[in-house]
Amino acid sequence: MKRYLAILLLLCMFGSIMYVYAEDNADSGSGNTNNALQGKGYYRSAEYMYKVSVYVGLRDSVDMDNDIGDFKMIGNNPIFIKPKSFSLPSGLITSSHNKFKYRIGAGLSSVSFDSVTYIEDAPPPIPITNGGNIDAVKSYFGDVNTLNMMLNAFADQKGTTREGLISNIQFTINNKTDYYPPEDILPVKINGQYQNKVAWLIVYEPVIITYTKPNSSGYRQPIAFTATEYALSQKLGYFNWFWGSTGQYVAGMTHSDLPNSIVLEESWVGVPVTSPLKDGVHWSDDRIIRGGGIGMRMLEASGVDVIPNDTTYDYTYRVNTDVITSVMVQAASGDITPDTRHKEKDTRKSAYTNPSNGKAYVTITANGQSTTMPVVIPNGDSQYAFLKWRTPSQPCEVTINVNISGNSSARLQEGGRSTSFKVKIEGLAENAPPDPRPTDKMPNFEIPSMPYEADKMTATWGIYSAVWDADYRWHENWKKYHSGCYTKTRADGSTKRVHRYKWVDEGWWEDYGQWDYTYTRYTASIQADMELKPDAYNPTAKEKYGEYTIASGYGVDIKVDAGITTNAPSSHYTTAQNVVTYFPEFHYNNYWRLLDKTGGRTFEFKENPYSTFNSRTHFTPLPYPDGAYKVYSKVIDCWTPDGMLRVNLNDGVTIEGSVYDDWHVAPDLP
């Protein structure tokens, strides 16, 4: 077993400066892990990994549009990257291939994890299943330092050097096939420019460890699989991850959340785009094998699109917005308790009657706003600590500082007791469309498809509390005391003094109690609805069964209703604060309208300066072709400790004819 303690530590997780290559291909879907944790099998949200393969292009012309056969895999098998925050369970098994191999027919191979190569570093949590952020994942695998770290691991796996990994490979560069020096192939920077004359591709697949239901001996088999491997093992009948007498009852993770967690935004190297499914909808085995649970990053030939010193952020917020920034706090080396009475059983002692404070305190500061949150957590568990704060009014960069004091068991997820990271505050100004004119043209325009972006409609988090459950037991301590004396006359008439004694139990109560922890679970879900209808000043709009038809050139009005259902106190969440709307005539790009909040949960267009009546309307373009006119809206900035809830909506009308059809020009009668 080969293990590597990487020196990158927290670079990717907390916004440090990194060298990043720009081409990425990963997106995330929606979901939560509530149901996946119930039932017979289970998994732990803190135990995750990534299975990583690295490929090098065999020609200088090879890029993401080529087939994977035009690349060569580096190393013998994929390597794993795991956080240092947990220990691998004994007896863990996995399989040795990646999605590409499975897609062309490779079978599952039961391999002891002791025989694979893995790196211990600080990879960000997997989205959805482990509460991660897809942008943090993309930044981590887009860091050239991460690529170089993996190349070193692959070299050790093969018993060679980085240079030795590619020394026996022929490359075609400038139409010449030959063996090239390593400095022409490896991602080496000279004078600020990467020298690789061929592309490098990182393929990463999220991995979750499942503990199967107990066998007859009570043993739970730990299994580290990618989404593809869970699907393949289900398809082949090796495991039933669903339900029933043989079921593991973790299909919410294996066939929904994990394949949804990372998917491709574009088709690369022969892997098709396979869009996320809605939360709770199970993927088919074949659909997962085809494209679920996979992300890629590419460093193109000669360092094309390399962005050195690109700052990455754990969070991106909008200006003038209430947000919640959270960190995961864990009890790493013992219970975090309200006080320390459990350390002294003798109820007479001051350490019991006057115990020290046993809590931990998490202080989070951002933009001059701060909170100190006391936490109590049982050993081995974790919970969020968080700050609700208001972002500045201007775009900028804000540093978040986190410090833990008190109970020494309390640690951040990465192992330390303090950290700082940067968040980006970006503007959200409306980029309103220009004034529509009668002379506007739309040559060769085709009605575009609706965009697809991931929803996150539910969030789950919780807070631990603890009460003392006393268990008093009497500790005997018998002592003998003199209680007086008397004169005893003997038979012969003589006397003697007789002393009386009594036994007194001077014992005391000892408390063998324990702290009873309660986890108060909070949930939040966003509900949103959108209605697009003709402007009130449209005299010829038609409605049938709730569907509207208008002529092009008239306006449409919008009403978005967005609310949140939660059992949490108001300090734990914000309501939806922004709605951004895009239009088909601009291919859902370039121009957008930022809606006004006109009621407690209602959003509408701003008043249109080009409207005669200052209506809250958007004018459809005169040359828009007959057919569907659908408007797309993103409801955002509904924040919880478990991240931002967001939902994407659309509604439309049908265009039939134009406003010119409603007017008839005729000469005046004499």
Share of the chain above pLDDT 70, in %: 90
- CB–CB of 556/550 below 8 Å? yes
| Per-residue pLDDT, 259 | 93
303 and 327 part of one domain: no
The mean pLDDT of 283-310, rounded to a whole number, is 75
Q: Looking at the domain assignment, is residue 643 inside a domain?
A: yes
Both structure tokens of 276: 């996320």
Q: 667 to each of 607, 662, 664, 670, how far by Cα in Å?
A: 37, 17, 10, 9
- CB–CB of 444/338 below 8 Å? no
304 and 341 part of one domain: no
306 and 330 part of one domain: no
Nearest to 657 by CA among 539, 553, 551, 547: 551
pLDDT in tens, 307-333: 333 344 567 899 999 999 999 999 999
Instruction: Tell me how far the alpha carbon of residue 611 is from its chain's centroid.
Output: 43
Both structure tokens of 182: 């390593």
Nearest to 611 by CA among 544, 658, 556: 556
Counting other chains too, the contacts that 89-93 makes at CB distance below 8 Å and 24 or more residues apart are 89/209, 89/211, 89/222, 90/222, 91/221, 91/222, 92/209, 92/222, 92/223, 92/224, 93/221, 93/222, 93/223, 93/224
Q: Looking at the domain assignment, is residue 450 inside a domain?
A: no
Q: Looking at the domain assignment, is residue 435 inside a domain?
A: no
490 and 617 part of one domain: no
DSSP track, 269-292? TTBPP-PPPPTTPPPPHHHHHHHS
pLDDT tier for residue 304 given thresholds of 50, 70 and 90: very low
> For residue 363, with 0-12 CB atoms within 10 Å meaning exposed, 13-18 middle and 19 or more buried, which class applies?
middle
| Per-residue pLDDT, 22 | 40
Both structure tokens of 284: 């088919």
Q: Looking at the domain assignment, is residue 73 inside a domain?
A: yes
| Per-residue pLDDT, 350 | 92
190 and 174 part of one domain: yes
556 and 626 part of one domain: yes
| Per-residue pLDDT, 664 | 55
Output DSSP code: residue 339: B
pLDDT in tens, 387-443: 999 999 888 889 999 999 999 999 998 889 999 988 888 887 777 888 788 888 888
Instruction: Tell me how far the alpha carbon of residue 539 is from its chain's centroid.
Output: 49
304 and 337 part of one domain: no
From 398, 426, 454, give the residue that closes a domain: 426
| Per-residue pLDDT, 138 | 85
| Per-residue pLDDT, 564 | 96
Give the integer Cα–Cα distance in Å for 59 and 280: 43
Q: Where on the phi/psi map is residue 589: left (φ > 0), alpha (ψ -120 to 50), or beta?
A: beta
CB neighbours (10 Å) of residue 164?
A: 12
Q: Looking at the domain assignment, is residue 445 inside a domain?
A: no
Give the integer Cα–Cα distance in Å for 607 and 594: 11
371 and 294 part of one domain: no
Q: Looking at the domain assignment, is residue 442 inside a domain?
A: no
265 pLDDT above the threshold of 50: yes
Range of the domain at 640: 522-662
Q: Looking at the domain assignment, is residue 458 inside a domain?
A: no
Within a 13 Å sphere around the CA of 338, how many CA atoms are in the beta-carbon half? 13
Q: Looking at the domain assignment, is residue 16 inside a domain?
A: yes
CATH code for position 346: 2.60.40.10
pLDDT tier for residue 191 given thresholds of 50, 70 and 90: low
294 and 372 part of one domain: no
Nearest to 294 by CA among 267, 325, 320, 313: 267
Rounded to two decimals, the pTM is 0.57
260 and 358 part of one domain: no
Give the integer Cα–Cα distance in Å for 210 and 444: 53
From 368, 403, 426, give the residue that closes a domain: 426
From 310, 332, 348, give the residue that closes a domain: 310
499 and 600 part of one domain: no
Both structure tokens of 70: 């035009």
| Per-residue pLDDT, 12 | 29
More confident residue, 117 or 576: 576
- CB–CB of 145/18 below 8 Å? yes
pLDDT in tens, 237-250: 899 999 888 888 88
21 pLDDT above the threshold of 60: no
226 and 364 part of one domain: no
Lowest-pLDDT range of 9-23, 68-82, 129-143, 637-651: 9-23
How many structural domains are present in the chain? 4
Give the integer Cα–Cα distance in Å for 185 and 203: 18
CATH code for position 588: 2.60.40
